[in-house]
Chain A
Amino acid sequence: MTKRRRGGWKDLVLAAVGPFLVALAGCGAGSSTGDAPLQLLNVSYDPTRELYRDINAAFAERYAAEHGRPITIRQSHAASGSQARAVIDGLEADVVTLAVWPDVDAVARAGLVHPDWERRYDNRSVPYHSVVVFVVRKDNPKNVRDWPDLLRGDVSIVTPSPKTSGNGKYSFLAAWGSVLKAGGSADDARRFVAELYRRTPVLDTGARGATATFSQKGIGDVHLTFESEAHLEVAEARGNLEIVYPSCSIRVDPPVAVVDRTVDQRGTRHAAEAYLGFLYTPEARAIITRHHFRPWGDSPSSGTAEALPAIDTFDVEFVGGWQHATTAFFAEGGEFDAMYQPTAAN
C-alpha cells in the first residue's frame, strides 16, 4: 500500500528539510563576514524616522570623506520607553536618541551610559527641540484655539499613553504647565489634566499609533503631538487636517547619548561620538529644520523662521523637572494613575 508512493514522501522530506539547510547556509554566510564595514545602531523614538534617514545619509557621506571609511547607520524606532527598556535588556545601541530625559537616564542608571552624559554635548545634550501643538480637523470645526478650549463642549482628544510614550508624557506636562502658566494652582492643573484624559477615548502606546488613531481612524477632535509630527501628519492628510499653535506650550527636549558600554565593546566610540557631534553642525541643522524640528543654536538656520512660528514655551523644569514628573505624575500609583480610569468613567 505504501510502496507506490515511497519516492513521493522522500521528496516531501527533502522539501521540508531543504529550506532549513538553505537558511542555515544563508545565515552562516551572513554572520561569518568577519571584517564587516563600520556600523552604528541608533536606537531612537517614533517621530525621528524621517529625520534620521536624512541625517544618516549626510553623516555617512561626510564620515567617509573625512576618514576614508564607509559607515552604515542602522535605525531602530518604537515608543521611547520601550526603546530604553530594549537597550537595557541588551539591544546593542551605539547611540540612543530618545524622546525624554528619563529614558536616557534609565539607560544610564542601568550602567550602560556614563552618568555625566548630559554634559558631553551642548545644550545638555539636546541638539534639537520641538513643541507640543494641536492638530485639528479641517477648518477647525470645534474652534479649538488654546488649552482651555480642549475642555469645552464635547471636544475629544487623542494623545498616546504617558506611561510608555515620550509624546504622551510631554502632552501631559504641556497641559499641566499651561494651567500654571495662566496663573492656576497645582490643584487647578490636576483638575484640568484629569478632565483632559476623561476626554481621551484611546491611549496608544506610541506617537505614531496615536497619529493613526486620529488621522486614519478618524477618532477625536484634537490630537496633541509634537510639532514635527504634526507637520508630517497634516502633509499626509492632504488638506483634511490643520495645525493650531496654542498661546503657550512645553519645549520638547529629546536628549542624545553615546552608549558607552556598547561602543567600548564594539570599538565604535570614535564614530558614535562623531555621529552625535554631527547633529550640531550647520549641515545637520539644515536637515533638522527641514524636518520641522528646531535645531539648537543662537542664530536660527535658514528656513526656520518662516516654517516654524515663534511660540511662548516653558520647559520641563517649569512643571517640576523630570525627577519630580517621573515619580509624582507617571510612576505606578502617581497622578496619572489616580486620574485615568479607562472606560469605567464612561
Chain B
Amino acid sequence: MSRPASPITATTRSGNVALVAAAWGIVGVLVVVPLASVFLEAFSGGFGAWWATLAHDADTRHAIWLSLTVAPVAVAFNTVFGIAAAWLVARFRFPGRSLLVALFDLPFSVSPVVAGLALVLIFGRQGLLGPTLAALGWKVIFSWPGLVLATTFVTLPLVVREVLPVMESIGPEEEMAAVSLGANGWQVFTRVTLPNIRWALLHGVVLANARALGEFGAVSVVSGHIAGVTDTMPLRVEKLFQEYRQPASMAVASVLAGLALVTLVAKYVIERRVEAEARERQAARAADGTAAEGAGQR
C-alpha cells in the first residue's frame, strides 16, 4: 500500500515526455479548465456580486443550508454503519459473508437515478410503505428524510470500503490482547480499534462527505424540486442555470467546487497520514519481530 510511485518516475526518467504531457493535457482540459471557468464566471461581477447572489436569495441560502445538513447526517450514518460492517466482516467468518461484501459495493454500480426511483417505489404514496407512512403522517419522499436516505444510499460504500482493508491488515491480535488484559467492549473499540483505523476512517468520511454534497441524480428524483424547501445545492445550480440566471448558478457552483477543493486538500493530507501510519506499523512489527527473536535466543 505504501509502495513508492515508481512507474511514474521510471517513465519520466526514460524520457517519455509525451505521456506526461498527455496526462497533463487531459487533466487540464477535463478538470482544470472547466473548474477554473466556474470560478471565473462566478466572480465575473466581483466578490460583492458573488456574495450578493448567494446571501440575498432566500432559496439559494436555504439550498446551501439544506446541503450542509443532509450531507453530515448521511455521512454520520455511514460512519457508524461503515465501522460496524467493516468490523463484522473483518473479524468474523459467516455464511453469506462474501455476498455481504459484494452488496456493500452495490450502490456504486447502481445508477443514482435508479436508487432514487427505488426509494419512491418503497416510500412513495403508492409505494410499499406508502399507506403506513401516510397513516402515521410521516413524510419521507419529497422531504428531508428522503434526501437523507438517497444521499446515504449513494455514499454507503465509501466508509466501509476505506476501513475494511485496514481492519483486515491489522488483524485481531491487538484487540484480543486488550480483552485478555480485561478491557470491555467499548474500551477495546476506543483504545485499540479506533486509533488503528482513524485515518482510513477519516479518509472515508471525507470522501463520503464530498460525494454527499455533490449528489444530484438520486436526490433529484426524491426531492420534488420545491424551491426553498427540498432543493439542495446541486439542484439549485441546475435550476438557476435553467432560469437564465447564470452568474447566480455559477456562484452556487463555485461554493460546491470550493468545498470539493477543501476536500481534496483534506484527502491529500489524510492519505499521507495513512501511508505514514502503515510504515510506522510495519517498522513496529519488524522491531517486535527482532526483539522477540533476540528474547528467544537468550
Chain A contacts to B: CB under 8 angstroms: 1-2, 5-6, 9, 12-13, 16-17, 19-20, 22-24, 26-27, 31, 41, 43, 46, 49-50, 74-78, 86, 88-92, 110, 208-209, 211-212, 232, 236
Contact = CB atoms under 8 A, between A and B. Distances in A.
Contacts of B72: 19-20, 22-23
B195 A89 contact: no
A89 B225 contact: no
Interface stretch (B3-11, B45-53, B125-133): B125-133
Contact of A76 (B141, B191, B225): B225
Interface of B: 65, 68-70, 72-73, 75-76, 79, 120, 123-127, 130, 134, 139, 141-142, 144, 191, 194-196, 198, 202, 205, 224-229, 239, 241-244, 280, 284
27 contacts: A2-B191, A5-B195, A9-B195, A12-B198, A16-B75, A19-B68, A19-B76, A20-B75, A22-B72, A23-B72, A26-B65, A27-B144, A74-B228, A75-B226, A76-B227, A86-B142, A86-B225, A88-B125, A89-B125, A90-B123, A90-B124, A90-B125, A90-B134, A90-B142, A91-B224, A212-B242, A232-B244
Most buried by A among B79, B127, B134, B244: B244
A90 B224 CA distance: 9
A2 B199 CA distance: 13
Interface of A: prevailing SS:
helix
Contact of A24 (B73, B130, B205, B227): B73
Contact of A41 (B76, B126, B226, B243): B226
Shortest 4 CB-CB contacts between residues of A and residues of B? A90-B125, A19-B72, A89-B124, A20-B76
Given A23-B72, A50-B243, A9 B144 contact: no
B195 A2 contact: yes
Given A6-B195, A23-B69, A27-B69, A89 B244 contact: no
A43 B226 CA distance: 8
Nearest to A6: B195
B225 A77 contact: yes
Given A88-B126, A89-B124, A20 B228 contact: no
- Among A76, A77, A92, residue most surrounded by chain B Cβ atoms (within 10 Å): A76
A17 B76 contact: yes
Nearest to B195: A2
B120 A89 contact: yes
B284 A1 contact: yes
A106 B76 CA distance: 39
Contacts of A110: 126
Contacts of B244: 232, 236
Contacts of A75: 226-227
Contacts of B196: 2
A20 B141 contact: no
A23 B76 CA distance: 11
B69 A90 contact: no
A39 B141 CA distance: 19
A223 to B, nearest CB: 15
Given A9-B194, A78-B225, A90-B130, 14 more contacts: A2-B191, A9-B195, A13-B194, A17-B76, A19-B76, A20-B73, A26-B65, A74-B226, A74-B227, A74-B228, A86-B142, A86-B225, A89-B127, A91-B141
